[in-house]
Each structure stands twice: as C-alpha cells, then as structure tokens.
Amino acid sequence: MKKVNLIVTVATALSLSLFSCSSESVEIAKKLQNSYEYEGKTVELTGEFDAPFFTFSSGQSKTIPMAFVVKPGAMSSEKESISDIVLPQGADKNSVTLELGPNEKKYTLKNFNVFDDKGEKYNLDQHQSFKIKGKVHYAEFDKPEADRRADNFALQITDVTIEKN
C-alpha cells in the first residue's frame, strides 16, 4: 500500500510541475504590451529567457536587453514574449554573459548564460524556467504628456532579480 501511495504522490507532483500554469504571467505579459497599468511597478513573471533581438554596434555595452517568454503551461503552444528585460553583462548575480569568438557575429541560445540571485550559472540552451522580478518603465513616459502616444507600449524591465524556478 505504501508503494502505491508513493507512486501516486510522485505522479501527482510530476503532473503538477509539468502542467502547472503560469497563466498569471501570460495575463501580465498581455497587459504589459497593451496598457500602461504597470508603469513604475514591479512585476513577477515565470518563463524562459530567449535570445535578444539586437545587432552588434559595439562591444562597449554594459547591459543586454534579453527576451523573456511566458506560457500558460509547459505543454502549451500559446506564448507571449517580452523584449527588453535589461540585464547587466557579467558573471555577477542577476546578470548575463554572451560568449562569442572574436569574429563571430551570429549567436544562439548556447552563447548566453544567466546568473541567478544566488550566482548560479545557467546556459540558456538548456531551456530552464526562471521567475523574474523587475521594475517596468515605458518609453512614452520619458516624453512630455502632450507628446505621448496612447498605443506605444515599448517598455523595459530593469532592476531584475532572477530566481531558478
């Protein structure tokens, strides 16, 4: 009987982890991209880092604007992607490294490593799940109120804390 209970417990835990929903993260991601509700606020999202969308202009930048993908569940094909999760470059806590050879210009997930709030290193090619917390700022709020567009939701999330999920 104990063996059956153990199997049921393990199966339940496994199914909860595989099918656990981060629908709250999806809802927040949608609102981030369609309203100014979170301006100046700290948000928490659960998902995976993705390679950023940028071109190389100089090697002098101290930050990398990473992409972050959230899904309602592990088996879901629906996803929301948020760009501009701004992380400092380096091997410190809550940072990212990009490892490319001197003449390389193309990159993939395997070229990126993130360091969580404990300083643990994770290669993004492993598709690990993380919980991030960061402060939201929309570019439109840098403009005078009369010049702001109501449909420009370009944002950055800064002061990011990364926790392995």
pLDDT digits (tens, 9 = 90+) for 81-123: 998 999 999 999 999 999 888 888 788 899 999 999 999 999 9
- What global pTM score does this model have? 0.81
Two structure tokens written together for 69: 């993908």
Cα–Cα dist 153/84, whole Å: 12
Cα–Cα dist 163/145, whole Å: 36
What is the structure's pLDDT at 75? 66
